[in-house]
Structure 1
Amino acid sequence: MRNLLMATVALSLSGCALAQSSAPVPVAQSSQSEARPQAGDSQANAELFFMIEQLQGEVRRLQGELEEQRHQLNRLSNQSKERYIDLDQRLLDLAGQLQAAPASGGGSSAEAPEASIKPVTREYRQPTDAERQAYQKIQASIRDRNYDAAIDGIYGFISEYPEGDLTVNAYYWLGEVYLVKPQLEQAKQAFTIVATRFSDHRKAADAIYKLGVTYDRLNEKTEAVRQMERVVSSYPATNAASLAKEYLNRR
């Protein structure tokens, strides 16, 4: 009996010891297995954050470069327009001096100077295929009412293809676009270029009529009438002359 009791107690103590020694093992393994992914996730997040910071910095740099290029393009565009306007104005001033020269010499009528500057009919350079395509692109911008693009296109066209048949058309349409915007002083200048420098061209009569319209919208009625009379007297067989007569009859 005593031996049986001692064996039972020993068996119970060994069972408790076994239970205590085996219980913590799963807990330790679980905490270690959970610790490893958390450390890996933290490193991955840090790398991702660093990459995002680099990309954001690159985007900011590219945006700065884009703004700088846009500013330079606008500046060059404005300089180009100012250069051509200045050149055309100097040509107009020269034309005015040529008009004034005969009048100072001999008591001729007021109409004589304008008649004297009309050049002998000349042959205008015919456009190349590339020139026609560039001109058609300008016309498309005008049809789409994209007037700013049309103006930029016309100035570029005049620069690249000077003194050609379509160049005169380009000057005329520059006046038309400015008339629509309306930028009347610029329209007056463009129509005057056609009327004085290219008075033998097929667009001259239309340009002088539109010059009269421009003066009318500027409320310079006397000059408007003078231009309309000029169309009728100098280009009597044109549609522009018919329109000019209608204007004069409405007065």
Structure 2
Amino acid sequence: MRKLLMAAVVLPFAFGQAGVALAQSTTQAFQNSSSEAQRKANSSQATAELFYMIQQLQGEVRRLQGQVEEQKYEIDRLKEQGRDRYIDLDQRILDLSEKIAEQPASSPGAGAGVAGAAGGAATATKEYRQPDAEERKQYEAIQDLIRNQKNYDEAISQLYEFIDQYPEGDLTVNAYYWLGEVYLVKPQLEQAKQAFTIVATRYPDHRKAPDAVYKLGVTLDRLGEKQEARRRMETVVRDYPNSSAANLAQKYLGS
């Protein structure tokens, strides 16, 4: 009888404890599940925000790359315009020189006047051999390689061949100058320095001398030879004061 009473008391108590434990376990599991869902939601939001930031950064990079490409295009366009102006001016001066050479010998002052306008310092200029039709044709073909085709390697090769084939002519000096210009564009600065130096030292009375001395200064500046570059710019201003190169050299010295 006593055992039955004890069983009647113990069994309900045991079931009650088991129910409490089951309820606690269920509550803990629900809380853990809720926390895990919250963490996943937070992680998903952070990932979405990070993805959005990456997209923004990628868009900004594309925008900056577009601006860089536009600026590069503009710089290249200005460089090409500058080279084209030089070639046009070179062609006009060549035409004028040929017309002067065709004038009667009784008007020597005309040639000296043109030389004085181009150089500014020279009072007597060397007589350069004028080109024949074939020489002029080859020179114009080289100009086309530089100006229109932008085939600088082939232009360099043909410039050397032109200099070897037609030494000490009026266009030979031009060829040395354009050799320096093409090397400067590539850029192969040591070779450009050599070409401009030949014009500046061997042909100081030629119409291309002021431009060659100025471009020699620019080349030296890019090579880091600042003091020698300044000296060359001062030479342009002093020896060729009426040339356009003197104006450019003066701006360089002023900066």
- Using the size of structure 2 for normalisation, the TM-score is 0.51
For structure 2, which runs of at least 5 residues remain unmatched after alignment? 1-121
Give, in whole Å, the separation in 1 of the partners of 2:201 and 2:123: 9
Give, in whole Å, the separation in 1 of the partners of 2:123 and 2:198: 14
- Selected match of 1:235 from 224, 235, 240: 240
Give, in whole Å, the separation in 2 of the partners of 1:240 and 1:195: 13
* 1:141 maps to 2:141: no
State the identity %.
68
How far off its partner does 1:226 sit? Answer: 0.3
Give, in whole Å, the separation in 1 of the partners of 2:233 and 2:226: 11
Rg larger for: 1
How far off its partner does 1:121 sit? Answer: 1.5
- Using the size of structure 1 for normalisation, the TM-score is 0.52
- Selected match of 1:188 from 186, 193, 209: 193
How far off its partner does 1:170 sit? Answer: 0.3
> Contact 1:119/1:199 (CA < 8 Å) preserved in 2?
no
For structure 1, which runs of at least 5 residues remain unmatched after alignment? 1-117
- Selected match of 2:130 from 105, 126, 133: 126
Q: Which has the higher contact order (CA 8 A, sep 6+)?
A: 2
Partner of 1:213: 218
RMSD, aligned CA: 1.3
> Contact 1:125/1:163 (CA < 8 Å) preserved in 2?
yes
CA offset digits 1:22-58 (Å, max 9, x no partner): xxxxxxxxxxxxxxxxxxxxxxxxxxxxxxxxxxxxx
How far off its partner does 1:234 sit? Answer: 0.2
**Which amino acid in the other structure matches residue 193 of structure 1?**
I
> Contact 1:205/1:241 (CA < 8 Å) preserved in 2?
yes
**Which amino acid in the other structure matches residue 192 of structure 1?**
T
How far off its partner does 1:222 sit? Answer: 0.4
- Selected match of 2:167 from 162, 184, 194: 162
Give, in whole Å, the separation in 2 of the partners of 1:122 and 1:173: 20
* 1:200 maps to 2:180: no
CA offset digits 1:154-205 (Å, max 9, x no partner): 0010011100000000000000000000000000000000001000000000
Match of 1:240, SS? Answer: helix
How far off its partner does 1:229 sit? Answer: 0.2
How far off its partner does 1:214 sit? Answer: 0.2
Runs of 4+ in 1 over 3 A off after TM superposition: none
Give the count of matched residue pairs: 133
